[in-house]
């Protein structure tokens, strides 16, 4: 998809791929042929610019046909560069205005509980959204309502458009902050597939009436060394020969087997 446009949010996509693989290959309750099925788990992409990674997950899950890959970011495509619910099957919200996903997730989780629907709501967000007051208001509201059906996934890659996230607005100690807001907290290496899978399983299995957050430390451009080492990789432009080089590296290092 990135090669079609010659640029994009490739660093985030590679860094967040393991989390999305666990979500769509292991955890989420879905019917690919019926994205609007009422019993589905909801997955909110608050950081809408991560859509390129989300589309790949939706394709692997069978929600979107792989034949649409080449239309990414083009006019009249169902795969716009930033996630939009009105365009894409399986996209639960239009992201991009950062700090809105958790707010929406709290409303969805509360509504599902009131309807007696046992589905989970997952909110996928970036560390840059920790700058937003709306995020912490939503975190407080989720704990107040005891939303045990809400799981928040935070990508801690320490990079945003204006520079390192921790320098733009210091956010540590994150574990203590989320715990103080009344959440069950786990922090894992977001690029360690077994660790991420175990964290998802733990979050889903808890019986406490409290929301759950998984803090995922990730590396932008993970798996492609020349992208990992870029100082600024929030939005990447890759030279034509580098696309094939990156794909060759990823193919060579692709793990074998499937998620159970």
Tokens of 35: 């994205």
140-187 pLDDT tens trace: 999 999 999 999 999 999 887 777 777 788 888 999 999 999 999 999
Short-list 191, 245, 205, 135, CA closest to 20: 191
Exposed, middle or buried: residue 177 (CB in 10 Å: 0-12, 13-18, 19+)?
middle
Dihedral of alpha carbons 48, 254, 230, 175, sign: positive
Second CATH level (architecture) for the domain 2-31+38-252: 3-Layer(aba) Sandwich (3.40)
pLDDT for the residue 234: 67
Residue 103 has pLDDT above 70, yes or no: yes
Nearest to 25 by CA among 197, 223, 251: 197
What per-residue confidence (pLDDT) applies to 176? 96
User: Whole-model pTM?
Assistant: 0.90
d(CA 202, CA 131): 27
Q: Is 120 exposed, middle or buried (0-12, 13-18, 19+ CB in 10 A)?
A: buried
Residue 80: DSSP 8-state: -
Domain range list for the chain: 2-31+38-252
**d(C-alpha 38, C-alpha 26), whole Å:** 19
Greater confidence, 59 or 228?
59
**Residue whose entry in the numeric block shows the structure tokens 């432009």:** 237
> Is 260 a residue whose pLDDT tops 60?
no
Give dist(CA 223, CA 251) in Å, integer.
10
Instruction: Specify the length of the chain in residues.
Output: 260
Q: List CB contacts of 184: < 8 A, sequence separation 6 or more.
A: 203, 206, 208, 210, 211, 212, 213
Instruction: Compute the average pLDDT of residues 65-86.
Output: 88
pLDDT for the residue numbered 169: 82
């Amino acid at each position: 998809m990135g090669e079609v446009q010659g640029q994009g949010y490739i660093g985030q996509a590679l860094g967040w791929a393991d989390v999305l693989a666990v979500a769509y290959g292991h955890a989420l309750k879905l019917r690919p042929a019926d994205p609007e099925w009422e019993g589905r788990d909801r997955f909110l992409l608050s950081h809408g610019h991560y859509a390129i990674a989300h589309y790949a997950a939706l394709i692997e899950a069978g929600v979107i046909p792989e034949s649409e890959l080449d239309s990414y970011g083009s006019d009249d495509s169902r795969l716009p560069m930033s996630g939009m619910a009105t365009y894409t099957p399986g996209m639960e919200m239009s992201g991009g205005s950062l700090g809105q996903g958790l707010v929406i997730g709290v409303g969805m989780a509360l509504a599902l509980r009131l309807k007696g629907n046992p589905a989970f709501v997952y909110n996928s967000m970036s560390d840059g959204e920790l700058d937003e007051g709306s995020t912490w208001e939503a975190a407080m509201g989720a704990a107040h309502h005891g939303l045990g059906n809400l799981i928040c996934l935070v990508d801690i890659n320490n990079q945003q458009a204006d520079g390192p996230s921790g320098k733009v607005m210091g956010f540590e100690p994150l574990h203590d902050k989320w715990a103080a807001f009344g959440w069950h907290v786990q922090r894992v290496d977001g690029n360690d597939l077994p660790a991420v899978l175990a964290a998802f399983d733990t979050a889903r299995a808890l019986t406490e009436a409290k929301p759950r957050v998984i803090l995922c430390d990730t590396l932008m451009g993970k798996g492609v060394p020349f992208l990992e080492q870029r100082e600024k990789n929030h939005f990447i432009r890759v030279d034509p020969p580098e696309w094939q080089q990156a794909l060759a590296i990823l193919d060579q290092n692709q793990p074998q087997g499937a998620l159970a």
